[in-house]
């Protein structure tokens, strides 16, 4: 009996992990990345610290940020974040954590994208 409960538990964990915590994929991922990049480019170009930074560099950084953040979000999480208004999104702990992680990674590695 204990074996059966453990097996059921493992199946549940695997299923739950694959549906809730897997990387974004398919059309959801494509839409997220394709929507993220132009918005990122515009906000990066508007920052005084980026004055004089070549557009190619900004594009590479934003592509890195989009791909890296998509790697940290599931399709369900993207749908949940997409439903938020701008103020709620800017205050969302999940979103802020993912963006912080992507920013930290991309500041060092954006040239790989």
For residue range 52-61, list pLDDT tens digits in order: 999 999 999 9
pLDDT at residue 113 in the model: 66
Q: What is the mean pLDDT of the chain?
A: 84
CA separation (Å) from 36 to 11, 19, 29, 32, 52? 34, 23, 10, 6, 22
Domain that holds residue 42: 2-112
- The pLDDT tens digits for 1-44 are 443 334 343 433 344 444 456 789 999 999 999 999 999 999 99
* Cβ-Cβ contacts under 8 Å for 72 (sequence gap 6 or more): 23, 98, 101, 102
Domain count for the chain: 1
């Amino acid at each position: 009996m204990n074996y059966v409960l453990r097996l059921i538990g493992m199946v549940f964990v695997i299923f739950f992990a694959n549906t809730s915590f897997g990387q974004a994929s398919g059309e959801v991922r494509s839409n997220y990345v394709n929507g993220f990049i132009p918005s990122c480019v515009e906000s990066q170009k508007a920052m005084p610290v980026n004055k004089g930074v070549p557009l190619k560099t900004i594009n590479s950084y934003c592509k890195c940020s989009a791909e890296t953040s998509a790697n940290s979000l599931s399709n369900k999480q993207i749908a949940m974040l997409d439903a938020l208004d701008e103020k709620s999104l800017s205050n969302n702990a999940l979103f802020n954590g993912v963006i912080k992680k992507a920013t930290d990674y991309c500041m060092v590695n954006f040239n790989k994208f």
